[in-house]
Amino acid sequence: MVGTALTSSDFTDPGPAPGSGLLELGTLASARLLLIDDSRFARKTINAILANHGFTNVKLATDGEEGLRVAREWLPEVIITDLFMPVKTGFDLCRELREDAAFQETPIIVQTSSDTPALRGDVFEAGASDLINKPINARELLSRIRVHLERLRLIESLKTYRRQMHEELNSAKAMQMELLPADQTIDAMEQEFPVKFAWHSQPCQGLAGDIWGAERLDDHRIRIWNADFTGHGVKSALNTFRLNTFLRTSLKDDRRGPGDWLATVNDFLCEVLPVGQFATMLCCDVDFRESTIDLASAGAPQPILETDGRNEVASIGGIPLGISEGVVFDQIRLPFPVGSCLFAYSDALTETPSAETPLYDMDPLIDRLDELTDVKLSKRPLALVGDLAAVAPEGLDDDLTLVFLEHVKVKRVRDEQGDCSQIHLVSEKADEPVASAVVSQDTFVIRTMQDAEELTKELAAQYPEPDAVSTGIWELLANAIEHGNLAIRHDEKTELLLANELDSEIELRLSLPVFRDRRVQVEFEKSDSQIKLKIADEGEGFDFQTYLDGEARLDAPNGRGIAIAQKLSFDGLTYRGKGNIVEAVVELSKAEPCNSA
């Protein structure tokens, strides 16, 4: 619909000759403009205005239906439409465009000869961005188009900037996560020493000001530490990189006690930190030979020690790092016998939801930790995180670090030469009662495929025919990790095997938070009459009956592990519950016991 006729003065008002560049369009000149009008004269006239002032990329449509089709195919940057048209009106056009996610931000300029308050309200409710009256004034039309294009380009620029910042922050976050102890480091430490770790690190703004570490001091001592820099975000994160570099270079081989070690860190931070910035830090040296722990603190939250099922504060104080040079830090030594557990944490735990009304000041925290003493170590950090989430549903106001370190019992099992050798796959607080007929009884906790491989060797050596059972033990342990804890489906494993990507997928899933804390528990019991192996994973279970008695599966590339274990390795194979627990039995004619230490 044309409305009032346009005159030559409407698009000669700006005064420039075609191509004079008065609007200085620059990159806007190539913007995609869609003009929708049922009047041939109006289309020709407005198109002439746009062409005369430098716009080079304009498409025309004769009604709302055609305009909608062109818009979806071409994705214009600005749409100029008449309001009253046959087939589909401008109202309907606006509504349908706004229902499409691709046109949520697209400027729609409506032109009409009717200008009443009611009509204007209807136009904007339908989704229009702007409205101009007929007869069209060229200067007004061009100015409106330019404003909307500049706004659109600014939005796109901001979106691009945000995407880039998001990618860069993610890269920085990944780099910062690499500063934390790697799973391989923790696994190696748990293999060499009678220790078990459980930890959780959570930044509140993508990048964290918290950092912790663990390292081997010698063949019977390890050191763990955690630091918390003031603030959070990029500034604090940069300080964690500074500290990490210093610790890995200047203090890499430092074996002095925690107090002297903190003093050296303090002198370094006094040199590099700007005025007003500082860090709190806790350093703990665990001596497994002496069953002691040495602690020193630089203003860190007081650690908590669990002994005999009771948690108590390890009172140790000190001023934060980076404030004053030459500070001497006190050091204390406490008993740390088998079964003890150290808990170190950042102050986000004791200042959530706020420092004035925290969920956990010291007494409630002690009570909560007492409640968790019977909970598996790997589950304790998540239990505390869940508590905080319940009182701070919108997220934490500070970075959170939780580290549990348990002094576990050392077990002895027979090695390949028949000698009893020490391993550290065990996490138990007390010996289980042993029946009179039981020769040996052990519990193991594993996480990785390497753990499974090593444990297979240790366990197979205790059977009369190691070669016969080793394949079955391996298959059951691998199933528990791959299909149980890591939730790799049968069809997924087949595809990964064919693509030679199974190992990389396993390593990836082991690193993901959802799977990282899952463990496989293995119970081994040898009596005079039989050897029973019980394997339990933390997965959702499976339809195990499908894989039992499967003769054809012995030659299949995948899905044959259960059949191998059942047919070739064990005298009995039984799945329990939902399928995440399996018991394998080998009957014995006579026993050859190996006494546990």
Q: What is the CATH number of domain 178-407?
A: 3.60.40.10
Note whether 351 and 204 are within 8 A (CB).
Answer: no
DSSP string of 387-405, one letter each residue? HHHHH-TT--SS-EEEEEE
Evaluate if residue 269 carries a pLDDT over 50.
yes
Evaluate if residue 492 carries a pLDDT over 70.
yes
**Residue 321's closest CA among 351, 300, 349?**
300
| pLDDT value for 490 | 81
User: Nearest 5 degrees, angle CA 346-CA 350-CA 355?
Assistant: 115
Mean pLDDT of all residues in 310-314: 94
Evaluate if residue 444 carries a pLDDT over 60.
yes
Sequence-ordered list of residues with C-beta below 8 angstroms from that of 512, at least 6 positions apart, any chain: none
Mean pLDDT of all residues in 424-446: 54
| pLDDT value for 75 | 92
User: Nearest 5 degrees, angle CA 340-CA 344-CA 346?
Assistant: 165
pLDDT in tens, 4-15: 334 444 444 444
Name which of 115-129, 267-281, 485-499, 580-594 the model is least confident about: 580-594
Alpha carbons 377 and 440: distance in angstroms, whole number? 25
**Residue 238's closest CA among 203, 209, 212?**
209
**Residue 400's closest CA among 386, 379, 416, 414?**
386
Q: Kind and range of the H or E element at 422?
A: strand 420-423
Query: Between residues 592 and 84, which one has the greater pLDDT?
Result: 84
Mean pLDDT of all residues in 358-375: 92
Mean pLDDT of all residues in 146-175: 81
Model confidence at 425, in pLDDT bands (50, 70, 90)? very low
DSSP, collapsed to helix, strand or coil, labels residue 299 as strand
User: Nearest 5 degrees, angle CA 67-CA 69-CA 73?
Assistant: 115
User: Nearest 5 degrees, angle CA 283-CA 286-CA 290?
Assistant: 145
Evaluate if residue 175 carries a pLDDT over 70.
yes
| pLDDT value for 289 | 92
Evaluate if residue 263 carries a pLDDT over 70.
yes
Sequence-ordered list of residues with C-beta below 8 angstroms from that of 24, at least 6 positions apart, any chain: none
Average pLDDT, the chain: 82
| pLDDT value for 349 | 94
Cα-trace Rg, the chain: 35
Omega prior to 353 cis, within 30 of 0:
yes
Model confidence at 208, in pLDDT bands (50, 70, 90)? confident
Domain edges within the chain? 8-157, 178-407, 411-587
pLDDT in tens, 315-327: 998 999 999 999 9
Mean pLDDT of all residues in 420-431: 40
Six token digits for residue 519:
């463990």
Between the two ends of the chain, the Cα-to-Cα distance in Å is 96
Alpha carbons 133 and 141: distance in angstroms, whole number? 10
| pLDDT value for 413 | 40
Evaluate if residue 547 carries a pLDDT over 80.
no
CATH superfamily of 411-587: Histidine kinase-like ATPase, C-terminal domain (3.30.565.10)
Six token digits for residue 176:
């910062």
Alpha carbons 144 and 155: distance in angstroms, whole number? 17
Alpha carbons 524 and 522: distance in angstroms, whole number? 7
| pLDDT value for 177 | 73
Evaluate if residue 335 carries a pLDDT over 90.
yes
Alpha carbons 548 and 352: distance in angstroms, whole number? 51
Q: Kind and range of the H or E element at 536?
A: strand 530-536
Alpha carbons 229 and 275: distance in angstroms, whole number? 13
Q: Where are the alpha helices (DSSP H) in 392-499?
A: 449-460, 466-479, 490-498
Model confidence at 465, in pLDDT bands (50, 70, 90)? confident
pLDDT in tens, 530-545: 899 999 999 888 777 6
| pLDDT value for 113 | 79
Residue 74, sorted as left (phi over 0), alpha (psi -120 to 50) or beta, turns out to be alpha
Q: What is the CATH number of domain 8-157?
A: 3.40.50.2300
Alpha carbons 218 and 223: distance in angstroms, whole number? 10
| pLDDT value for 551 | 43
Query: Between residues 106 and 439, which one has the greater pLDDT?
Result: 106
Model confidence at 261, in pLDDT bands (50, 70, 90)? very high
Alpha carbons 110 and 94: distance in angstroms, whole number? 9
Mean pLDDT of all residues in 402-427: 58
Report field, pTM of the whole predicted structure over 0.75: no
| pLDDT value for 217 | 94
| pLDDT value for 78 | 93
Mean pLDDT of all residues in 175-187: 81
Evaluate if residue 352 carries a pLDDT over 60.
yes
- 41-76 burial string, b = 16+ CB within 10 Å, else e? ebbebbbebbebbbbeebbbbbbbbbbbebbeeeeb
Alpha carbons 558 and 555: distance in angstroms, whole number? 9
Same fold, 178-407 and 411-587: no
| pLDDT value for 328 | 94
Residue 3, sorted as left (phi over 0), alpha (psi -120 to 50) or beta, turns out to be left
Mean pLDDT of all residues in 410-429: 42
Alpha carbons 532 and 524: distance in angstroms, whole number? 6
**Residue 273's closest CA among 296, 233, 243?**
243
Mean pLDDT of all residues in 592-596: 41
Q: What are phi and psi of 363, to 5 degrees?
A: -65, -50
Give 280's strand partners.
Answer: 228
Note whether 380 and 372 are within 8 A (CB).
Answer: yes
